[in-house]
Structure 1
Amino acid sequence: MHSSSTLFPVALLSAERRGDLSEDVYRIKAGNSPDPSVELALTRLGMADQTRAQGVPVILLHGSFSNRRFWYSPKGIGLGAYLARAGFDVWIPEMRGHGLSPRNRQWRHNRVADYACHDLPVIAAFIQEKTGQAPHWVGHSLGGTTLAAALGGGYLEPERVASAAFFGTQVSRVYWPLKVPPVAWGARLVLKRFAQISGTRLKRGPEDEPIGLALESMRWHGLFGRFGGKQGDWWAGLADVDVPVLAVAGAADFQDPVWACRKLFEQLGGERKQFLRLGREEGFDAFGHVDMLVSKAAQAQVWPLVERWLRDPLLPVHETTVVREPVAVN
């Protein structure tokens, strides 16, 4: 079987029709990670009656305890399906050990640093090879955090990013107990006894998360912690990022509150950026962390704004949007 890419081994696992949608599932084994067993599943959504995708590529990054089903259900409902029907070429990666991506040998040690440094660049290269265009990126929660790390660390070159949208994404919320060294040390010792955190047991989602992510987050929020990895300070690097940015926060999101999402937005460089609060004062429902993208209210109030953003990231997506550059509206 020939690879679907000239860059690295990629297998087409399935090509199915799902109602009015087409669903192609690829398996990437780039071998660029220190753990050579890493394989990533990448789903492409399009319209079933099209012989080939013709729209602008959009990459949707799921958050923690989640998988591709966050973006589209087996019945063809979700933002991913909505965008495919609107004419976009939709790509949905699943992080290591999530959904159709198998667990790698060192799965328990996986971190955002691995996703940002090794996985997102591979995904971007393959999609750009297939489409000939720089993709738009949309990340929710941990997906947005991973995207921010990839941009701040310089792992994603600007020519591979047509725009970046962050939903419910922040790294500034303070966990005061972690600032106390004995408490932090004790918590690390306890966590290292486990391989994973169960999403179903905690009622957070259908997937487990490797303990490496929790240990990495503790390091970020420790006494002298910073949003970064061994190779650099991602937070400082965000100031050098100059791509169109949309940051969206839910007024009722207590996991990633508005003020913290706004802080990430302000840290990002460039002037082509917008911040939107989803609250009653702005004319929306008071959206929380998940229902800002997965709910009937989001379908009516938020999805059309995402489509508007993707069609022209230089125009305000809403009349209440905070824009960091004077934008002429035709």
Structure 2
Amino acid sequence: MSVERTTRFVDNGVGWQLALHRYADPARLRPDTRPVVMVPGFAMNSFILGYHPRGTGIAGYLAEQGHEVWCVDLRGQGLAQRSSGPRGFGMADVALVDLPAAIDAICALSDVRGDAVDLIGCSLGATYMFMYAAWLPGNRAARLVNLGGPLRWTAVHPLLRTLSAAPPLWSLMRMKGTRGVARRLLPLAARVPGLLHIYLHPAICDLSEPATLVQTVDDPVPAINREIARWVRAGDLLHRGRNLTEDVARLELPLLTLVANADGIVPEATVCSAHNVMRRADRALVFAGDEKRPMAHADLFISDPAEAHVFRPLAAWLASEPAAQSAG
């Protein structure tokens, strides 16, 4: 048999239907494992987690190794649907309302050990993961994987620093049709040497089908834009008097950090910030790319070397020692 993909929807309790995409190979599924939950990030959805232009996407790859993988679309992402809920929402709504609802549903639906989950946060999805693990009492996190995501903005790309100078302006940016714009611009940008290198390297990515690739692009959320701008300026994410970096430093959950060595979106020092502060935890650090073949943000998912540099070491870490107990 091969990897099967199914989609279920769950109500988040405030008027949004969240999409849960399950990847599993019935012939290889290992019942002694925990569900693996993958969380996408800023202005993206779970499509990229199941897609690779020249091979198997990261979710399918992990399913081939015997894992039950769930890729979630939280509010404002992918197939998530608003019924009666608020149109405006921020990062805490996603991390502390949507993510718990999704994980609780996954544990109830799972065909493996549904007591807790191994969480993989992708880009801003890693921040949601840290918020969930550090700020939600009784959460179901067993192990954490940071796939190119920020905690403390130790290093910031100059372009992002400039954009973050005026947080109120970010909240006014109501960008619609982002996917269509990306579809038209991507082929043109790929022809300009170095233009896309802060995000991906065309030399190691197949960009011949932009209409397919940009299905992972969603419109940015104004309130989250503003929060990110303030966060970049402050360095640490603050919410209702709490400092996320300080609270994450107290976590003792196993942590794997995967870093693209030439990431211009979330630079190495910023991706490594959680690894550096979680000194009580069992930690591992993996760098993707090298001097001859650098890798940037999106290269972690869709580049030719992604399987060797990202998927394989991730699968090996998941298959290593037994998962820790839930943080609850």
TM-score when normalising by structure 2: 0.75
Amino acid of the residue matched to residue 168 of structure 1? G
- Which deviations, in whole Å up to 9, do the C-alpha atoms of 1:65-95 show, x marking residues without a partner? 2222111139982010111111101111112
Extract structure 1 runs of 4+ deviating beyond 6 A.
Answer: none
Maintained 8 Å contact 1:138/1:144: yes
Matches within 5 A, 1:232-243: 232-243=242-253
Change in CA separation of 1:69 and 1:106 when aligned onto 2, cut-off 3 Å: same
How many residue pairs get aligned? The number is: 281
* Residues 169-178 or 229-238, more deviating: 169-178
Maintained 8 Å contact 2:171/2:225: no
Change in CA separation of 1:153 and 1:199 when aligned onto 2, cut-off 3 Å: farther
Matched, 1:135 2:112: no
> Partners of 1:194 and 1:108 in 2: how far apart?
15
* Residues 269-278 or 88-97, more deviating: 269-278
Matches within 5 A, 1:190-269: 190-196=169-175, 199-200=178-179, 201=181, 206-222=217-233, 226-230=236-240, 232-269=242-279
1:134, CA displacement in angstroms? 1.6
Higher relative contact order (CA 8 A, sep 6+): 2
> Partners of 1:84 and 1:279 in 2: how far apart?
24
- In structure 1, the gaps of 5 or more residues are 1-18, 316-330
| Partner of residue 322, structure 1 | none
Maintained 8 Å contact 1:168/1:249: yes
Maintained 8 Å contact 1:167/1:247: yes
- Which deviations, in whole Å up to 9, do the C-alpha atoms of 1:177-219 show, x marking residues without a partner? 578xxx53xx51x344444465433568521121111011122
More helix by share: 2
> Partners of 2:42 and 2:161 in 1: how far apart?
22
> Partners of 1:27 and 1:177 in 2: how far apart?
39
- In structure 2, the gaps of 5 or more residues are 187-213, 324-328
The one of 164, 168, 176 equivalent to 2:148 is: 168
Amino acid of the residue matched to residue 67 of structure 1? N
| Partner of residue 56, structure 2 | 77
| Partner of residue 63, structure 1 | 41
CA RMSD of the aligned region, Å? 3.0
Change in CA separation of 1:192 and 1:142 when aligned onto 2, cut-off 3 Å: closer
Maintained 8 Å contact 1:61/1:138: yes
The one of 29, 49, 52 equivalent to 2:11 is: 29
Change in CA separation of 1:278 and 1:196 when aligned onto 2, cut-off 3 Å: same
> Partners of 2:84 and 2:241 in 1: how far apart?
23
Question: Percent of pairs identical after alignment?
Answer: 23
Matched, 1:280 2:262: no
Matched, 1:113 2:92: yes
